[in-house]
Amino acid sequence: MAKRKFDIFSRAWTIIWRALLLLVVVLLLLRFVPPPTTAFMLQSPYPVTQDWISIDELPSHVPLAFVSSEDQRFPNHYGVDFA
């Protein structure tokens, strides 16, 4: 009886570790390969085509505009806005 309990425990840990390993592999893969679709593409009734570009290809003001859309005082403080 004790061996069976150990087998179930061992099998559960094996499944958990394999699932965790699969998750890490998928996350690493998506780090270097652009996703095939996004939630915005799926919700649109019209076909959406997007071309993925490198951040180096963006105009220089776009990254600051993106950050400023979330925090308008970003250029005026040192990373933490206490206001």
What's the pLDDT at 60? Answer: 85
For the chain, give every domain's residue range. Answer: 8-70
Which structure tokens are listed for 22? 């699969």
Q: Please say whether the beta carbons of 81 and 71 come within 8 A.
A: yes
What's the pLDDT at 53? Answer: 85
Which structure tokens are listed for 46? 């019209």
Q: How far apart are CA 25 and CA 33, in angstroms?
A: 12
Which pLDDT band holds residue 3 (cuts at 50, 70, 90)? low
Residue-wise pLDDT for 24-77, tens only, equals 999 998 888 877 777 877 888 888 777 878 888 989 888 778 877 777 777 777
Which structure tokens are listed for 56? 């180096």
Residues 6+ apart with CB under 8 A from 71: 81
Q: How far apart are CA 63 and CA 83, in angstroms?
A: 23
Q: What is the pTM of this model?
A: 0.44
